[in-house]
Structure 1
């Protein structure tokens, strides 16, 4: 199998933060929601997110961007370290960042800070552009593409260049292979001319088609793909456009979906794919990205004193979430299996081995001790939670373990969002309460044959009936040594 081709990303890096919580009341002094139970996460943004996502596809990625000496620039360098090679140009001011406040997955407020701009191009940056085999420009209007515009115009005549434009930036240089504005961005760049004379049917497609055709001509681009959110993308060479629909309707946080689209399309152009193929696969990748949690797969938990600050042995669930996010971002299949796993036996192992063979990682979701007691009775679990985690982690087929306190794992599964939820065949005639949750993001519940005669209860009962071993005197005294 051919390795993915390297990709150079040029553009404005940002640092993004999410503050998530719950809203249960309004403030007494103003009709505004009170957000409590806060969790904080930080992730690359802008061109840095596009570079991160391209690297997650398994390809070598170099990012040319403006960074400074400010704390946010240092934080972003740390997030990209070991994943993306950096070629830095000087930044005037502090790195731009944005903070979203969300409740129930919906944004309530956004705070923008930092107005840093690229000060000037450098020779190392120009050399990186001149030697690139393919380029993605993510122009967020903060000057990086502008100070390197001459080098980008030169390389666009030689190698595939994809350009993701934003209204605060300048139009693409002439000769780009593919430009990827959203419908709103395309309309702004097209001057709004397509807004006149709205047709009775298909007005969005009609407007996007007119805008795309106009931009192909004014930008002198080979193709323009106007992204239409959940509807897919409209690809135009200047005449009759091609509609590339989304394979499914994806519900979720769409933040970063445009970067996922552009990074996928640019990478495939680097691999030598035709534009039509690159756009089709990019639509599928963006749809999958939204369905599987979006930027949640990129973010690093920074909640003070939160789970990420505790050792993994004490809080394994964070490790499980990171494992699932890493595999998902790389395009792999995440498999999860659940249960108490009290007194691990051959039936458990057979199920877990079979589940692991269906995907690229296996996350085992186990009931906490309190959850087991509620389900099984006061005498259970026989093996405490920490020991069950340690035994499961020792299995070669298990990549991570997560713990849930509820009676059923719906909330944990929503965080992990596995492609496959594996259960033993003894559930074949039972409606699993978590099935609808798994199916809501396109996941599949799969049953595996169960080994007959293996169960924790039967093993425990046999153990209780077995006479204790030792000398006859010890056996007669219940196994106690004579004093």
Structure 2
């Protein structure tokens, strides 16, 4: 999918260390800086999150040829196509000083803005070729550019346009499909409290298709239809909300670009943002040019919630599902027959590599997910990085946990998680003759895949 992100790029800097004494000339802590980490912020963070979700991202933004602007270019080089809009002034940079994990002060520098001047033709071509467009406004002038606004208003109706507004920015163009202010921003726009009535008032004011007011740990209020979509309980040990709004906006935009209905797309965004915060937020990254990708978007549990709302039974099944074969299909069909919704908990590539050793996995996670999601019996696929899916199951809390019959219950630490939430574990017998490991051995020796082989279906 081609995602165009339009907005104000910032350079975020974290200075972290310890504070064990006070300054002699003022009652303030002295921070002994142990580390300096840089990361893309603002619209640049949204672009990186889009790239980490598998999109081909183009970022349309403004920056200067100063140290912050060049650092942003370096951090974004492998993540997206960077297209520069006219810019006047210094590249915005925000530096957080942290001691023992606690933010003490933030220092903002850079007064640059995007003036109302014509844009290069390449920027318009990037918008016209996009499958979805996200506007990430951080009040630096790009949303006031009249040439850009006209182009956004002319986007085809089948290209989702999501607008993340800012109180100092321009109002969304009426063509916008979804505007996603947070609660504080909604109040500054005169929406009153975070209610469906407030969201609807903003929708009427802007003339857009829908408004979703994000409410932090409470979830998001969406109008229409005027519904509160609740966030899952955060599981992280060090929650940090920095970047949560960008995670939400990107996830919703990509979901809409894939044709997901509005409410389900917003619910997906709430799930993704909650997991992002639980994993440590944007501040958890080590941005020295080799930083790991941000946490993967969590699964959309909308189907799970629907089933639970009428007393249905949720089933989860886990495994690597490398080289999908009839043994896997039998396991998943049997699992689905035990309840009303089936969520597959799938090992990530790194998790498979730890369990099976190189050269596994043969099929990368994105393709394994695609195959599983194509199965009629599967309602959702959730990927996890750990050796055990216990952490994921804490969030999902299935009524039934299904594994292949080649395991013993005491070999499954996740069973204790399921039982603690009132669920139970079911072992499904394997289909004789199917094993990924045996298939690979047969292929390696030039033999045919034989049904008479025996082994673990994983």
Q: State the Cα distance separating 1:35 from its structure 2 match.
A: 1.5
Residue 87 (structure 1) shift: 1.7
Alignment correspondent of 2:234: 249
Taking the aligned partners of 1:267 and 1:298, their CA distance within structure 2 comes to 22
1:64, 1:89 within 8 Å by CA — same for their partners in 2? yes
SS at match of 1:281: helix
Change (3 A) 1:154 1:142: same
Q: 1:326 aligns with which of 293, 311, 331?
A: 293
The answer to whether 1:359 aligns with 2:348 is yes
Determine which of 215, 219, 222 is the counterpart of 1:232. 219
The change in CA–CA distance for 1:29 and 1:397 in structure 2 (over 3 A counts) is: farther
CA distance in 2, matches of 1:422, 1:154: 45
TM-score, structure 1 as length reference: 0.61
**Cross-structure match for 2:72:** 76
Equivalent of 1:108 in 81, 98, 104: 104
Q: 1:22 and 1:261, CA in 2 relative to 1: closer, same or farther beyond 3 A? A: same
Show the 5 A alignment for 1:36-115: 36-115=32-111
Partner Cα separation in structure 2 for residue 29 and residue 419 of structure 1? 49
1:219 corresponds, among 188, 203, 206, to: 206
Residue 315 of structure 2 is matched in structure 1 by none
- Residue of structure 2 in register with 1:28 after alignment: 24
Offset at residue 132 of structure 1 (A): 2.6
TM-score by length of 2: 0.64
Distance in 2 (alpha carbons) for counterparts of 1:286 and 1:419: 20
Provide closer, same or farther for how the CA distance between residues 226 and 420 of structure 1 changes in structure 2, counting only shifts above 3 A.
farther
User: Could you tell me how far apart the structure 2 residues matched to 1:418 and 1:19 are?
Assistant: 28
| Residue matched to 1:145 | 143
Question: What displacement does 1:362 show?
Answer: 4.4
2:272 aligned with 1:285: yes
Aligned residues: 332
Residue in structure 2 matched with residue 174 of structure 1 by the alignment: 174
Match of 2:248 in 1: 261
Structure 2, unpaired ranges of 5+? 300-318, 320-345, 362-383, 391-406, 418-458
Flag the structure with larger Rg.
1
Question: What's 1:186 paired with?
Answer: 186
RMSD: 3.8
Gaps of 5+ in 1: 195-203, 303-307, 309-321, 336-356, 366-391, 399-416, 432-437, 439-483
Q: Report if aligned partners of 1:156, 1:174 keep a CA contact under 8 Å in 2.
A: no
Match of residue 14 from structure 1: 10
Q: How much does 1:6 deviate?
A: 1.4
2:136 and 2:128 mapped to 1: Cα distance?
Answer: 17
Q: Deviations over 1:22-72 (max 9, x none)?
A: 222322321111222521110001111001101100111111111221121
Deviations 1:187-224 (CA, angstroms, capped at 9, x unpaired) = 1112x6x2xxxxxxxxx5xx433321110100011110
Give SS of 2:27's match.
coil
Alignment of 1:300 onto 2:267: no
